A and B are shown apart, each in its own frame.
Chain A
Amino acid sequence: MSNIITTDVLVIGAGLAGERAAIASASEGLDVIILSLVPPRRSHSSAAQGGMQASLGNSVKGKGDNTTIHWLDTVKGSDWGADQEVARIFADNAPIAMREMAHFGVPWNRVEGGPREVYIKGKKTTIVEDYDKEGLIAARDFGGTAKWRTCYTADGTGHTVLYTMDNMVVQLGITVHDRMEALRLIHKDGKCVGAVVRSLRDGEILAYMSKTTVIATGGYGRIYGESTNAVINEGTGSWLALQTGVVPLANMEAVQFHPTGIVPTDILVTEGCRGDGGLLLDVDEYRFMPDYEPEKQELASRDVVSRRMKEHMLKGKGVQSPYGEHLWLDLRHLGETHLKTKLREVYDICMYFIGVNPIKDFVPVRPTQHYSMGGIRVNKDGHTYNMEGLFALGEVSCWDMHGFNRLGGNSLAETVVAGMVVGKQIAEHAKKTALVADVSLAEQFVQKEKKKIGHLLNSVDGENVYELRDEISNLLKTHVHIFRTGEGLEKATTGLQNLVKRVENVKVRSKAPGMNPELSFALRIEGMAKQALLIAQGALNRKESRGAHSREDYPARDDTKWLNRTLARWPDSHGEPLFEYEPVGVLDLPPGDRGYGGGQQISMEITVEEYNSRVDEEQKAKGRLDPVEPTGTRLPKEAWKEVL
């Protein structure tokens, strides 16, 4: 008999989203266990640098900001792929979440009254902060926003917020089991009752049974190989959902490439570099962004800046290096004090990893895989489709405030906002649910995983798991990157279909008991291959360009055919994925021009009212569970008219 641990709420993932959700349940007196691959403070949230968007409007350049303007920026940033109601729930709650984090202990940078020098659009400018705002939470500039609204602590925002959050977890006495990896969800008849878990300390397989199960494991960036993501971001949480066969992953083809990954190493330097005045230069040390984007310049949305960079390099303006082509990020004019305080992590990263001193030298950068807009599809309460009792939030989810491109500072903010909002629904669900301690069901699932592990350990012949990983990432890097073509996507899809078969035949060389790193990785490779296929095939299917999904053969955004969300399930583990589509959600802001990026659009043939009338029914038909409040209730009508 395997070890079985019971709890009210099981949270898989101890980054910001998972911890904030756990706090919401623990505050209601529920028993919570958090599982994490690593000690919580090592989670990838800690690496977020730049900040969190919230329309507090305290800084003078954020004056007049409000939740509606934040919402509008988010919807435009998403290229209308977002669920506008969810974007609204997010924007409305972001200021509260920032203040709550201040209350919990985050040392947010604060407004200092009086004049100060800043760089705006390449020019040194003096701005005068209001004295009556002194001491309130300050903001810096980020891309794709009408106002300065990114709250920050130097360039260590993720770190301070995560440490503060984890202190709350300690205060509430929430149990954390670190170095634990969930391998499979335990479920029956569309109801999730826990997970099979492998200890990365000693290799034990055990079962956790819960009233409510939550996935908050972050993104899958490592599937791309070249990624800013931490090495633990291998899509393990979204794989849990995909394995059920019934829970869809949404918009997996919507992948963000951040303009400034450093070369080599692919480590991120924050968008705050450009927000604070950093410039992008080419091989001739020429500042090219204003030619492409006269209005937003370096601070257009990330999809647009990355595309422009790539476009410029294709014109032969890139800098050649042994590590491939790149461009320059010029931070020198910001000065030593700024670089050693507000951009200190950036300074350290450049010095330690590539031996570049940004006070004196240009930083080599290129667009690098950074974020997954897609993920486990959930309704506005965070409840997954087709699976009662299973919730997801943060990057692993497709709650869908980001659509096809997310704005910088919006995902870190999403973790704490969704933690609050979805966290509340998780607690409500657990309170009204009885624990199903179906031991034989748990044992059934445990035995399946044990069998799989036994099979891997006994393999005498088969493929090298690391070579398979490289083949998967090479296909994505080559064909499913910033610019995509039908031909390339066909190749990637065919190649990945083949790899999905080959990963069944992995040979694990190491038979060591305990953690066995090779076995651990072999247990993830099937999920990586299958999700890579969903990314490639989703991109092949989507015959338009929207946000970060840019098809050379279909350059226009097509709101007639493609104002929808991709849903992909894998109903039979040996078969093929099943693709379906649903409306993005109720629209308030009608699809239009973003004001940057220069894309073409094919307009909707039906009216917004007609579109909206189908949303609820069609989403329901795809397995969406009814949210606590009816669809659309949180989306004020024609709010955009107040501002535009």
Chain B
Amino acid sequence: MGRTLTFEIFRYNPTADDDRPRIDIFQLEETARLNIFTALNLIREQQAPDFMFDFVCRAGICGSCGMMINGRPTLACRTLTSDLPNTITLYPLPFFKLLGDLSVDTGVWFREVAEQIESWIHTQTEFDPQAEEERMDNATANKIYEAERCIECGCCLAGCATAQVAPDFLGAAGLNRIGRLMIDPRDQRDEEDWFKLISTDSGIFGCIGMMACDDVCPKDLPLLEVFAYIRRKMAAIGFSKKKEKAAAV
């Protein structure tokens, strides 16, 4: 027999003068293969027409529906209720600005990070429409793709202890983006540029190594490896700078 699920959901509409944060409780009959995407739409259509949340692709690809499901940041669209107990609590992702109920403003935050780390390929080469493309080793292309798979859902930041106390921390998503650019031979930034950008407390040295990001990443990005790579690289540059300084003295 199907279960009756109880949803305990954080509700708050910041645009309503008289609204206060609260928990609303909804009940829903579980059907086969019910996921949180379908469940929330049913709740909105049948019980709470003003209920705010975000879905776009509903296929685990676009990164819109990150939320706290029973205390864990993850993608709601691909979370099946059958993997959860009878009571399901839903909160918006922490760290990001709350827009209403379960909807948070990841877009503006990621745009600011993209500006800060200049997340485009830095090159002096002009595009020549008549020329053959510059060649690239396929292994390199695959490696870049692996890091490029981040969907900027924000789950890593919601799960990150540093981010909760240091709002300017780039987080795993920001650092992964830098790692992706560092391994791209088309990006002509040199070690000095990278060092300036991320050898800071808001960059790689802000991370205190608890690695919740790696645990919660819905795309299974190899964040441990990415962090290790960047740290090693930054440490090496740091040491050589120190040596240069000592030699100069």
* A interface residues (Cβ-Cβ under 8 A, vs B): 38-44, 46-47, 96, 98-100, 102-105, 107-112, 134-138, 153-154, 156, 159-160, 163, 166-168, 170-171, 176, 178-179, 201-203, 230-232, 264-265, 267-268, 322, 341, 345, 348-349, 352-355, 466, 508-518
Residues of B within 8 A of A166 (CB): 114
Tell me the bound Cα distance from A354 to B64 in angstroms: 20
Evaluate contact between A104 and B134: CB separation under 8 angstroms: no
Partner of A231, one of B13, B55, B120: B55
Partner of B111, one of A154, A176, A352: A176
Residues of A within 8 A of B80 (CB): 352
* 5 residue pairs bridging A and B, Cβ less than 8 Å apart: A107-B145, A110-B135, A231-B57, A353-B60, A509-B49
Evaluate contact between B135 and A41: CB separation under 8 angstroms: no
Evaluate contact between A517 and B49: CB separation under 8 angstroms: yes
Partner of A135, one of B55, B106, B137: B137
List 16 other contacts, CB 8 Å, given A39-B106, A156-B61: A38-B56, A39-B64, A44-B62, A103-B123, A105-B187, A107-B141, A159-B61, A166-B114, A168-B120, A202-B15, A231-B56, A265-B33, A349-B60, A352-B80, A511-B50, A514-B14
Central interface residue in A156, A163, A322, A508, by most chain B CB within 10 Å: A163
Tell me the bound Cα distance from A514 to B50 in angstroms: 10
Given contacts A47-B59, A110-B137, A160 and B145 within 8 Å (CB-CB): yes
Evaluate contact between B45 and A466: CB separation under 8 angstroms: yes
Evaluate contact between A513 and B145: CB separation under 8 angstroms: no
Evaluate contact between A153 and B35: CB separation under 8 angstroms: no
Residues of A within 8 A of B134 (CB): 102-103
Q: Which residue from chain A places its CB closest to the CB of B75 in the assembled complex?
A: A352
Evaluate contact between A203 and B120: CB separation under 8 angstroms: no
Nearest-CB distance from B175 to chain A (Å)?
A: 16
Q: Does B119 contact A (CB under 8 A)?
A: yes
Evaluate contact between B64 and A42: CB separation under 8 angstroms: yes
Question: What does the 1/0 interface line of B214-242 toward A look like (CB < 8 Å)?
Answer: 00000000000000000000000000000
Nearest-CB distance from B104 to chain A (Å)?
A: 11
Tell me the bound Cα distance from A46 to B103 in angstroms: 20
Which 4 residue pairs across A and B have the least CB separation, nearest first? A39-B107, A135-B135, A514-B15, A512-B50
Tell me the bound Cα distance from A138 to B141 in angstroms: 11
Q: Does B171 contact A (CB under 8 A)?
A: no
Partner of B119, one of A154, A170, A352: A170
Residues of B within 8 A of A105 (CB): 120-121, 184, 186-187
Nearest-CB distance from A516 to chain B (Å)?
A: 6
Tell me the bound Cα distance from A160 to B33 in angstroms: 30
Tell me the bound Cα distance from A103 to B107 in angstroms: 25
Question: What does the 1/0 interface line of B54-70 toward A look like (CB < 8 Å)?
Answer: 11111111111000000
* B interface residues (Cβ-Cβ under 8 A, vs A): 13-16, 32-33, 35, 44-45, 49-52, 54-64, 78, 80, 99-100, 103, 106-108, 110-111, 114-115, 118-121, 123, 125, 127, 129, 131-138, 140-142, 144-145, 148-149, 151-152, 184, 186-187
Tell me the bound Cα distance from A43 to B63 in angstroms: 10
Tell me the bound Cα distance from A179 to B105 in angstroms: 10
Residues of A within 8 A of B137 (CB): 110, 135
Given contacts A322-B32, A513-B16, A156 and B107 within 8 Å (CB-CB): no
Tell me the bound Cα distance from A23 to B198 in angstroms: 28
Partner of A110, one of B45, B50, B78, B136: B136
Partner of B50, one of A40, A99, A230, A516: A516
Evaluate contact between B61 and A345: CB separation under 8 angstroms: yes
Tell me the bound Cα distance from A322 to B32 in angstroms: 10
Given contacts A107-B144, A514-B100, A46 and B135 within 8 Å (CB-CB): no
Given contacts A38-B64, A353-B78, A163 and B52 within 8 Å (CB-CB): no
Given contacts A47-B57, A168-B120, A100 and B127 within 8 Å (CB-CB): yes
Evaluate contact between A107 and B148: CB separation under 8 angstroms: yes
Evaluate contact between A99 and B129: CB separation under 8 angstroms: yes
Tell me the bound Cα distance from A137 to B108 in angstroms: 33
Given contacts A100-B127, A159-B149, A517-B52, A112 and B138 within 8 Å (CB-CB): yes
Given contacts A159-B61, A231-B58, A510-B50, A167 and B99 within 8 Å (CB-CB): no
Nearest-CB distance from B246 to chain A (Å)?
A: 38
Residues of A within 8 A of B132 (CB): 99, 136
Given contacts A103-B133, A105-B186, A38 and B107 within 8 Å (CB-CB): yes
Evaluate contact between A201 and B129: CB separation under 8 angstroms: no
Evaluate contact between A110 and B99: CB separation under 8 angstroms: no
Evaluate contact between B16 and A348: CB separation under 8 angstroms: no
Nearest-CB distance from B143 to chain A (Å)?
A: 8
Nearest-CB distance from B69 to chain A (Å)?
A: 14
Partner of B110, one of A39, A136, A160, A354: A39
Residues of A within 8 A of B133 (CB): 98-99, 102-103, 136-137
Evaluate contact between B136 and A517: CB separation under 8 angstroms: no
Q: Which residue from chain A places its CB closest to the CB of B65 in the assembled complex?
A: A42
Nearest-CB distance from A456 to chain B (Å)?
A: 12
Nearest-CB distance from B11 to chain A (Å)?
A: 11
Partner of A41, one of B13, B110, B120, B145: B110
Tell me the bound Cα distance from A512 to B14 in angstroms: 11
Nearest-CB distance from A58 to chain B (Å)?
A: 9
Given contacts A42-B64, A107-B145, A135 and B136 within 8 Å (CB-CB): yes
Q: Which residue from chain A places its CB closest to the CB of B15 in the assembled complex?
A: A514
Central interface residue in A39, A99, A179, by most chain B CB within 10 Å: A39
Residues of A within 8 A of B145 (CB): 107, 109, 153-154, 156, 160
Residues of B within 8 A of A517 (CB): 44, 49-52
Tell me the bound Cα distance from A642 to B87 in angstroms: 68
Evaluate contact between A46 and B61: CB separation under 8 angstroms: yes
Tell me the bound Cα distance from A606 to B127 in angstroms: 46
Given contacts A110-B141, A352-B60, A171 and B107 within 8 Å (CB-CB): no
Evaluate contact between A230 and B56: CB separation under 8 angstroms: yes
Tell me the bound Cα distance from A643 to B206 in angstroms: 61
Evaluate contact between B107 and A42: CB separation under 8 angstroms: yes
Given contacts A137-B133, A201-B99, A230-B57, A41 and B63 within 8 Å (CB-CB): yes
Nearest-CB distance from A336 to chain B (Å)?
A: 15
Nearest-CB distance from B91 to chain A (Å)?
A: 18
Q: Which residue from chain A places its CB closest to the CB of B132 in the assembled complex?
A: A136
Q: Which residue from chain B places its CB closest to the CB of A322 in the assembled complex?
A: B32
Residues of A within 8 A of B140 (CB): 107
Nearest-CB distance from A226 to chain B (Å)?
A: 13
Residues of A within 8 A of B13 (CB): 512-514
Tell me the bound Cα distance from A187 to B140 in angstroms: 50
Nearest-CB distance from B79 to chain A (Å)?
A: 8
Nearest-CB distance from A264 to chain B (Å)?
A: 6
Partner of A96, one of B49, B57, B129, B184: B129
Evaluate contact between B58 and A267: CB separation under 8 angstroms: yes
Nearest-CB distance from A409 to chain B (Å)?
A: 18
